[in-house]
Structure 1
Amino acid sequence: MPLSTLLDRARGTLLGLAVGDALGAPLEGLSPQQIRAHYGTVVDYVDGARAWRRKPYRWRLPGLYTDDTQQALALADVLLAEGVVVPDRLAATYLALATPRNGHAGAHRGVGRSFRQVLDGLDRGRPPLECGQDSAGIGAAMRIAPVAIPFRDDPDGLFDAVMAASLMTHRDVRSLAGAVAVASGVRRLLCGESRSPSLLFRVAGDVAAAERRIAEEHGGVVASIGEHGRGLSRAIAHVEALLDLPRPDALHALVEEANAHGARPSCKRPTMGFPPACIPTCFYLLLTTESFEEALIDVVNLGGDADSAGAILGALIGAQSGSSAIPERWLDGLHNRDGIALRGEALALGSADGLDIPDLIETERRLTALEDASREQMLAPPDQRGGLNIRPPR
């Protein structure tokens, strides 16, 4: 593969993740019906004020990504500094983003309860690999894409890196296998595999092998192995049978399959933040849409965990189609576009030498302060609103 193609795909992986996250962020927690009522069909970054007027803390700055991308960028920086995932260094980066905490999450944006509990454990000095939560969440998968870039030719090293990045936050086999699925899909697409049904079976095979390794190597600390130790690989393989169904029937079948793998609470939509729901849905849309734009519009308008689903699908299709396939209006409206793209490029090159990558902690603190100030301005009486510039720099 020409170096220029590899660099475009590596940039596309991280930019796709961030664009999908930012598109979905204002829609997280909404149903498709609520999205249509407030916005029609979302095709660009939207102001969440319409949907979250009574819950302003849920409001997101248009074009700004959430903790999904922040954690991915933290992971990228550790890989660039160390060459591998070093849990202590990743934990230190998470804590640096959270400082000053004052009972809050610092510069982290939109973090859930499980990640707050991880931050609390790290803050109290617990070893990173003892902080993982037993719930079957999507967080390990939403941030994992950067790992696939430097380990694109090393599947065994990729598994070890995924575990090192994931065990500090997740201890359920479905979450860990979900991270493997996304990393495997990104790796294969980055290396030139096509968006075809055969990809499903290769990824499902990678995940099945990983599920066995998780049981063998981490069975003493990982939950749900006995009940759901093969759930994620089966859910991904099941997608192939849905590809020719009408879209509503396929989405219904994805929900039913997710519930067969222990969704608690029961899954009501395919983009729920539960790995056997969200990840197969992303692979389904990867194979049943024609472009980056179509795929991302389709997934975020399903609502649910729209930011994480957008991040996962954006990383997958970005790895295959490259940054050149991302609509320019989405790149123009994305905050920290250059910092994200440069990290993708550096991961592909194996070095950040000569690349002017902005400091992560400084950048994220500035962006979080901008979002907080914008929220305060939105909530102020009309006669007290200033002229805050929230447009991202090119």
Structure 2
Amino acid sequence: MELTAACTPGGPCPPQVLLERSRGALLGLAVGDALGAPAENTKPSEIRARWGRIEGFVTDDPSGTDDTEYAIFSGLLLARHGSALTVAHVERAWHHWIADLDEGPFRGAGFSERGTLENLRRGLAAPISAQHRHAWSDGLAMRAAPFGVFAAGRPAEAARLVAIDGTVSHDGEGIYGGQAVAAGVAAAMAGAGPASVVSAALSVIPSDSWTARSLRRAVTAAPRGERAVRSAVVIGGYPWTDLAPEAVGLAFGAFAACRGDFADSVLTAVNMGRDADTTAAVAGALAGALRGVGAIPVTWASAIGPVRGRCLPSMRGYHVLDVADLLTPETETPR
């Protein structure tokens, strides 16, 4: 059963409600990632030609991508340091878990992550490590949900913490995209309605930023449906689909168009194509935080297992639900 009630204004959420929303946010991210992965870098016309309309998993062995693995990476880091997180902590974690390992062949990390790793391996430190060609990608937005889970009901704190994480790998609009997602999830964790979730996201980024303008256009178009959201946000002719202002706008547009319904929000994001795994992961995190883990269809939830380490070998074996529980330490996990 999905959660619909808001927490008491000005007061803490009941621990069990927080746990349900934490699990909803991170499992929702993983479900969206796995649903969207086959449609990544496609157009809606290509989706229709191949699958008609995607209404569930289109592979026999669904799995997530770097979106889920990097979210686990950031979630574990946040669980270790909490509000005391510093850029030095993040930089050391990138070295310890990723950059200083013998990673073998390239296995699916995004361009922003590859650029960051190259800079770190050359001895560059943050924020210079984020000076690469893809600093405005959605690579921070894809791993931002754990910060909203941790800072439930505190969008500004979620935005502050995710910016610390992002300093190693992103700049400018790439940071703003992560902040918008983290703040939106933080508001949803407290039971804020879809309009308030959007307002929280906009409150933590510059109003004249590309990300804010894209997000506002998407939400304004949302009542007219999926095609209108896509038309309002997508940059025609631009070769890269993982630009943060576009991906974040599409994700919030899908969430707003479906009024926070989990399945509809995620499938809307998937069927818009472009960077579909990330947009669906973000939409899933927002809707999962708002509605709780019970809103995720059982067949989708049961398909998500421990990650396989295809992108980050050091994350192999971790499950997003374990990270959700770590980020709500005051909650006694049911046995």
TM more than 0.5: yes
SS in 2 for 1:43: coil
Question: Where has structure 1 moved over 4 Å in runs of 4 or more?
Answer: 153-156, 353-356
Contact preservation (8 Å) 2:112, 2:139? no
Hey, what does 1:46 align to over in structure 2? Answer: 58
Give the C-alpha shift of residue 63 in structure 1: 2.3
Q: CA deviation at 1:155?
A: 4.3
Equivalent residue for 1:348, pick from 316, 325, 328: 328
* Structure 1 counterpart of 2:152: 152
Q: Give the distance between the partners of 2:111 and 2:255, measured in 1 at CA.
A: 29
Q: State how far apart, in whole Å, the 2-side matches of 1:246 and 1:11 are.
A: 28
Q: Find the aligned partners of 1:354 and 1:345 in 2 and give their Cα distance.
A: 7
Summarize the Cα distance change of 1:266–1:74 in structure 2 as closer, same or farther, 3 Å threshold.
same
Count how many residue pairs are aligned between Structure 1 and Structure 2: 307
Quick check: 91-100 or 187-196, which moved more? 91-100
Letter in 2 for 1:158: A
Shift of 1:130: 2.1
Q: Indicate how the Cα distance of structure 1 residues 277 and 69 shifts in structure 2: closer, same or farther if over 3 A, else same.
A: same
The CA deviation string for residues 314-347 of structure 1, in whole angstroms up to 9 with x for no partner, is 1111110111111111111112188211211220
The 3-state SS of whatever aligns with 2:115 is helix
The separation in 2 between residues aligned to 1:181 and 1:149, in whole angstroms, is 13
Deviation at 1:244, TM superposition (A): 3.1
Match of 1:175 in 2: 174
Q: Distance in 2 between matches of 1:326 and 1:151?
A: 22
**In 2, Cα distance between equivalents of 1:253 and 1:6:** 34
In the alignment, structure 2 segments of 5+ residues that lack a partner are 1-12, 308-317
Counterpart of 2:109, as a letter, is V
Counterpart of 1:123, as a letter, is R
Q: Quick check: 2:185–2:197 contact (8 Å CA) kept in 1?
A: no
Residue 114 of structure 1 is matched in structure 2 by 112
Q: Is the 8 A contact 1:231 1:276 kept in 2?
A: yes
For each residue in 1:30-69, what CA deviation from the matched residue of structure 2 results, as whole angstroms up to 9, or x when unmatched? 222222222222222233xxxxxxxxxxxxx832211111
**What is the CA–CA distance in structure 2 between the aligned matches of 1:162 and 1:286, rounded to whole Å?**
21
Which residue is equivalent to 1:243?
A: 222
Structure 1 residue 166, shift from structure 2 partner: 0.7
Give % identity.
27
- Check the 8 A contact 1:342/1:355 in 2, yes or no: no
Residue 324 of structure 2 aligns to a residue whose secondary structure is helix
Which amino acid in 1 is paired with 2:23?
R
Mapped contact 2:33–2:278 kept (Cα < 8 A): yes
- Whose radius of gyration is greater, 1 or 2? 1
Determine whether 1:284 maps to 2:283: no
With normalisation by structure 1, the TM-score equals 0.70
Q: How far did 1:204 drift?
A: 1.7
- For residues 134 and 10 of structure 1, do their structure 2 counterparts lie closer, same or farther at Cα, with a shift above 3 Å needed? same
Q: Which residue of 1 aligns with 2:164?
A: 164
CA contact (8 A) 2:305 2:319 kept: no
Could you tell me which residue of structure 2 aligns to residue 318 of structure 1?
A: 288
Matched, 1:301 2:313: no
Distance in 2 between residues matched to 1:169 and 1:280, nearest whole Å? 21
Residue in 1 aligned with 2:22?
10
Distance 2:26 2:114 in 1: 24
| Contact 1:134–1:170 (CA under 8 A) maintained in structure 2 | no
Change (3 A) 1:244 1:308: closer
* Shift of residue 154, structure 1, vs aligned partner: 4.2
CA contact (8 A) 2:23 2:293 kept: yes
- 1:230 equivalent to 2:187? Answer no
Instruction: Go from structure 1 to structure 2 and tell me whether the alpha carbon gap of 1:314 and 1:129 turns closer, same or farther (over 3 Å shift).
Output: same
Q: Per the alignment, do residues 79 and 355 of structure 1 end up closer, same or farther by CA in structure 2, a change over 3 Å counting? A: farther
Evaluate the alpha carbon distance shift between residue 297 and residue 155 of structure 1 in structure 2; reply closer, same or farther with a 3 A threshold.
closer
Kindly provide the CA deviation profile for residues 198-236 of structure 1, in whole angstroms up to 9, marking residues without a partner as x.
54334323223xx7xxxxxxxxxxxxxxxxx62222222
* 1:183 aligned partner, one-letter code: A
- Paired residue secondary structure (1:149): helix
What's the secondary structure of 1:204's corresponding residue? helix
Q: Distance in 1 between matches of 2:58 and 2:170?
A: 31
**Cα separation, 1, equivalents of 2:334 and 2:166:** 28
TM-score w.r.t. the length of structure 2 is 0.82
Is the 1:63–1:335 contact (alpha carbons within 8 Å) kept by the matching residues of 2?
A: no
Greater shift, 245-254 or 139-148, is seen at 245-254
Aligned-residue offset at 1:267 = 7.4
CA distance in 2, matches of 1:76, 1:246: 33
Amino acid at match of 1:46: V
The farther-off stretch of 13-22 and 88-97 is 88-97
Q: Say whether 1:101 aligns with 2:80.
A: no
The one-letter amino acid paired with 1:253 is A
Unmatched runs of 5 consecutive residues or more in structure 1: 48-60, 212-228, 260-264, 357-394
Superposed displacement of residue 275, structure 1? 2.2
CA distance in 2, matches of 1:11, 1:243: 27
Q: CA deviation at 1:311?
A: 1.1
Q: Does 1:124 align with 2:115?
A: no
Return closer, same or farther for 1:237/1:274 CA change in 2, 3 Å cut-off: same
- In 2: Cα distance, 1:302 partner to 1:243 partner: 13
Tell me how far apart the structure 1 counterparts of residues 288 and 210 of structure 2 sit (CA, whole Å): 26
Which letter maps to 1:318? Answer: G
Which residue in 2 is equivalent to 1:194? Answer: 193
**Is 1:67 aligned to residue 39 of structure 2?**
no
